[in-house]
Amino acid sequence: MSEMNNMTAAESAATKAAVMNQVPGPDVEGQSPLHHADFAGLAKRGMQEGGIHLRELALLGHLTLRCDSSNHEQVACVAAILGVSLPLTPLTSAEKGAYSIRWMSPDEWLILVPGLEAFSIESQFRDAMPGHYSLVNSSGGSTVLMLSGDNAVELLKKSTTVDWHLSEFPVGKVVSTLFAKSTATIRRTGDQCFELVIRRSFADYIWLWIQDASLEYGLVIKA
Amino acid sequence: MLHIYCPHCAEYREEEEFHCAGQAHIARPLDPEACSDEEWGEYLFFRKNPRGLHHELWVHAAGCRKFFNLTRDTQSYEIKEVYMIGEQPSVVAGSVQQTTASGAKS
């Protein structure tokens, strides 16, 4: 452990052998866990007005980073690669352009990047990151839902035990909690706009739950 | 439902996000090979079941997935304090009576 902490960037770059490009190119078709729900079709055929707006951000690159927040070299390295600093305060997030970082625990962050950039970002970490850390591409394990609309907060109140008042839950705050009994990482991206990172295996269940929970408000699918 | 303060998230959350991992402060014998059967059995199987203050290990299973310690009154279910792994509790069985007798907040 102590030896790994003293590893230079060049030495840790030797661990690159474990990195594989999971998405070789844009011509290879990927299917999100909600492929069968056909959001593109529902956006045309379905309701056009309602209190809940739902969109899937499919096939993003999900990178789980674990490192030491007190290691200034590592924190600086992340900022150099992503152009945005690690959010070190609990339950906060940071975003710049297409890159966003969520605080998951005192030594863990979830980074979302465009799907086709995941491999290049991962490689840059392997080349430049010093010391003892872990970076895992978990893109296939989860998907992202964007929930917005006038009744988005009401739907979240039905599904979670978190306080969603703006004074308690400002824009940018992120929590890992239970959404309808399944784990979800929820971030507020606007007053009425939320981002849910959910498990692939629970995606269909949550899709069914959201349809049921938004019956009284009207569900509008956005492509 | 208990309303539990997670010291890592620095926020109160509902009990359903947590999981109790049993009694806290159980030190593994440094040399298991040298233990008698009784000592090893005590370490593995025997736990306190007090009426009153109990120090427990909890994990924020649906949140930050980190462990922490918690002192709870098993009669009133009141949570007396939450403290990090590696720290010692400040509220212990004897201290409560003393602090309440002197009128200080425990």
Measuring CA to CA, how many Å separate A146 from each of A41, A43, A185, A221?
17, 14, 12, 10
User: What is the model's pLDDT at position A188?
Assistant: 98
CA distance B5 to chain A (A): 13
Which residue among B11, B13, B65 places its CB closest to the CB of A105? B65
User: What is the model's pLDDT at position B106?
Assistant: 38
CA distance B70 to chain A (A): 19
Q: Which H/E stretch holds residue A156?
A: helix A152-159
Yes or no, beta carbons of B64 and A106 under 8 Å apart = yes
Average pLDDT for consecutive 10-residue bins of chain B (106 residues)?
95 96 95 95 95 97 97 96 96 65 41
Tell me if chain B has a CB within 8 Å of the CB of A59: no
**Predicted confidence (pLDDT) per residue in A28-64, tens digit:** 888 999 999 999 999 999 999 999 999 999 999 999 9
Q: Which residues contact A210 (CB under 8 A, 6 or more apart)?
A: A52, A54, A145, A147, A155, A219
Q: Which H/E stretch holds residue B40?
A: helix B37-45
User: What is the model's pLDDT at position B104?
Assistant: 41
What would the two tokens of residue B8 be?
């890592």
B3-27+45-102 maps to which CATH number? 3.30.2270.10
Handedness of CA A160, A156, A187, A145 (dihedral sign): positive
User: What is the model's pLDDT at position B95?
Assistant: 67
CA pair distance B85, B68, nearest whole angstrom: 5
The residue ranges of chain A whose pLDDT is under 70 are 1-5, 15, 17
User: What is the model's pLDDT at position A13?
Assistant: 74
Domain A36-222 has CATH 3.40.50.620: no
Are B81 and B72 spatial neighbours (Cβ–Cβ below 8 Å)? no
CA distance A89 to chain B (A): 9
CA pair distance B6, B4, nearest whole angstrom: 6
User: What is the model's pLDDT at position B96?
Assistant: 53
- Tell me how many residue pairs between chain A and chain B have CB atoms under 8 A apart: 37
Q: Where are the domains of chain A?
A: 36-222
Tell me if chain B has a CB within 8 Å of the CB of A201: no
What DSSP state is assigned to residue A22?
Answer: S
User: What is the model's pLDDT at position B105?
Assistant: 41
Yes or no, beta carbons of A177 and B66 under 8 Å apart = no
User: What is the model's pLDDT at position B103?
Assistant: 40
User: What is the model's pLDDT at position A28?
Assistant: 85
Measuring CA to CA, how many Å separate A178 from each of A202, A214, B36?
12, 18, 44
Which residue among A91, A108, A161 places its CB closest to the CB of B9? A91
Q: Where are the domains of chain B?
A: 3-27+45-102
Are A180 and A186 spatial neighbours (Cβ–Cβ below 8 Å)? no
